[in-house]
Amino acid sequence: MRNLNNWLIVSLSLLTLNVLNAQENKYTRKNKTADTIQYTTDKCYSRSIKVKDGFLYAANSNGSLYRIDLQSGLSVNLMENKKFEEMRDLEIVGDTLIGMQSGSYGVLAILDNTQFLDYVIPSGNIWHSVFLDGIDFKGKTGFVMGDPRKNIFTLSFSEDGGQTWHACEGKIEAMEGEAGFAASGTNVQVLNDSTFVFVSGGKKSRFFMTHDKGQTWKQTSLPYLTSLTSGAFSIFMKDSLNGVIVGGDFANPDLNLNTAFFTDDGGEFWINAEKQPRGYRSCVHHNGDVLYACGTNGIDISFDMGREWIPFAHGNFFSMTSDDKYLYATIPNGRIVIFELVDSKN
């Protein structure tokens, strides 16, 4: 009986492995089979990308902001002759583009579809000498998170589409070695006109949520490995209860231990993914019922709100966006890879 039981265990294990391998092979792609856009010859890369009305917009490490016509393939730098150290995040609010500079000081660039319009530097020096990590909007309500200044996180909100900004009243003290990771501008999210969330990383990694525009905050510790290069990098909340966080250790990108967590209770508890992404992930993006998480060794997908992740693509990816047909992912040297979206029903 023992031999029969052992045979059954081995057979079931092999069957499970074969099913998983077949599932992975079904979705795994290689970059050479996907279309690639070369939108600039500059040695830069985009940490934030958006798509709207047939145009891609890529905010880049050298401070440029390219508009790419998806029909003609033509690209133009909307920040030509404008001095931005770098652009870490990009949002589209109505017909307005808002680019976020990180670096020696925080500032926003306001543009339309064709040209630069103005800079936004809030009054009161609330972003003076602050490294901004992420910006997000829902309607005209915006939220910006920046690294600690005098040991207090820099948290701001806007109610007019990003024209003016106010410091959040609730103050959050950073712990030793704790800050934000501006890897893809997705460590912050606006859920509605009063609810914002963000995640921190480093020697301490935490999840934060406010329901009153930052007057008060609730927080939850996240079980990431403790180091300056580890922690939460990106968050997506489907609603006020269900969400996903991805991250890891960018200094050890192939380490797939404690890289992704999910919640179904509004962030009171974060549960380790049952099947992890293949390593460090800098950006999580959703389209319909499918989640995509990218990093330096590829893209993984999830059909169950982050409980299990399946390999999708190989390569070094920084950020992602999508329309109703395609996933757009940025890679080094001014390029964007285009994939067909996964149908969760197939």
Q: pLDDT for 48-83, tens place per residue?
A: 999 999 999 999 999 999 999 999 999 999 999 888
pLDDT tens per residue, range 146-197: 999 999 999 999 999 999 999 999 999 999 999 999 999 999 999 999 999 9
Q: Is 268 domain-assigned?
A: yes
- CA distance linking residue 222 with residue 304, whole number of Å: 20
- CA distance linking residue 308 with residue 310, whole number of Å: 7
Q: Is 172 domain-assigned?
A: yes
The arrangement of strands across the sheet holding 35-38 comes to 35-38, 335-340, 326-331, 320-322
- pLDDT-based confidence at 14, cuts 50/70/90? very low
Q: Is 271 domain-assigned?
A: yes
pLDDT of residue 176: 96
Q: Reduced to 3 DSSP states, what percent helix, strand and coil does the chain have, rounded to the nearest 5?
A: 10, 45, 45
Query: What is the domain count for the chain?
Result: 1
pLDDT tens per residue, range 287-329: 999 999 999 999 999 999 999 999 999 999 999 999 999 999 9
Q: Is the pLDDT of residue 20 over 70?
A: no
Q: Is the pLDDT of residue 122 over 50?
A: yes
DSSP 8-state assignment for residue 27:
H
Q: Is the pLDDT of residue 3 over 50?
A: no
pLDDT of residue 29: 58
Q: Is the pLDDT of residue 346 over 80?
A: no
Q: Is 13 domain-assigned?
A: no
Residue 121: CATH number of its domain: 2.130.10.10
Q: Is 20 domain-assigned?
A: no
Q: Is 264 domain-assigned?
A: yes
pLDDT of residue 104: 79
CB 240 within 8 A of CB 259: no
Q: Is 11 domain-assigned?
A: no
Q: Is 2 domain-assigned?
A: no
328: left (phi over 0), alpha (psi -120 to 50) or beta: beta
Domain that holds residue 97: 30-340
State if pTM tops 0.85: yes
